[in-house]
């Protein structure tokens, strides 16, 4: 019971501190992510004079069979310029313990993507994510990738507490 109370208080405190935070999420049907399926988000208009940290928010279940995750992340700017990053995130400790937070079958992970980013151009920014996971020694990507149940993003003012 005390752990539950502490968790609720922590969430309330975090929520109060994160009022400038913007977030959106999409569920992945049955936790099966096809290698060619892009998850896309149109970002809201942001203050062009501020810097923001952009994070990826990912929920995985115990069905996720790997200890890391490779993502291809594209940030398309209003003028059509696309920044493409290949990112690797560690999902489990060497002993197999999940690194995310949460109890039970689902773990929440907050993954750094862009730090101190400015959105200088007026217009629509689009964030697109697909997985790039492969089995050792194989050329073809894993499809479907099991165990990723939700993917999203969070944007918060750079340097905001709660990092």
pTM: 0.82
pLDDT tens digits, 70-122: 999 999 999 999 999 999 999 999 998 999 999 889 999 999 999 999 999 99
Average confidence (pLDDT) over 129-135 = 91
In the predicted structure, residue 45 carries a pLDDT above the cut 80: yes
Residue 58 sits in a domain whose CATH number is: 2.60.120
In the predicted structure, residue 10 carries a pLDDT above the cut 50: no
> What is the tally of structural domains in the chain?
1
SS3 153: strand
Residue 11 pLDDT grade (very low, low, confident, very high; cuts 50, 70, 90)? very low
Taking Cα atoms as reference points, which of 77, 72, 15 lies closest to residue 43? 77
In a domain? residue 148? yes
Q: Identify whether the C-beta of residue 162 lies closer than 8 Å to the C-beta of residue 18.
A: yes
> Where in the sequence is the domain holding 65, given as residue range(s)?
20-157
């Amino acid at each position: 019971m005390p752990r539950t109370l502490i968790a609720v208080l922590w969430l309330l405190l975090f929520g109060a501190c994160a009022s400038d935070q913007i977030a959106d999420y999409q569920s992945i049907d049955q936790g099966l992510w096809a290698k060619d399926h892009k998850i896309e988000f149109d970002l809201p208009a942001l203050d062009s004079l501020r810097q923001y940290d952009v994070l990826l928010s990912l929920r995985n279940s115990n069905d996720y069979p790997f200890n890391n995750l490779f993502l291809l992340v594209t940030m398309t700017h209003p003028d059509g310029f696309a920044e493409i990053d290949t990112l690797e995130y560690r999902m489990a400790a060497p002993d197999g313990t999940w690194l995310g937070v949460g109890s039970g079958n689902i773990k929440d992970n907050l993954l750094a993507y862009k730090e101190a980013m400015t959105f200088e151009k007026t217009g629509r920014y689009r964030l697109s994510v697909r997985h790039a996971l492969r089995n050792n020694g194989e050329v073809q990507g894993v499809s479907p990738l099991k165990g990723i149940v939700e993917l999203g993003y969070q944007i918060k003012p750079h340097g905001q507490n709660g990092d």
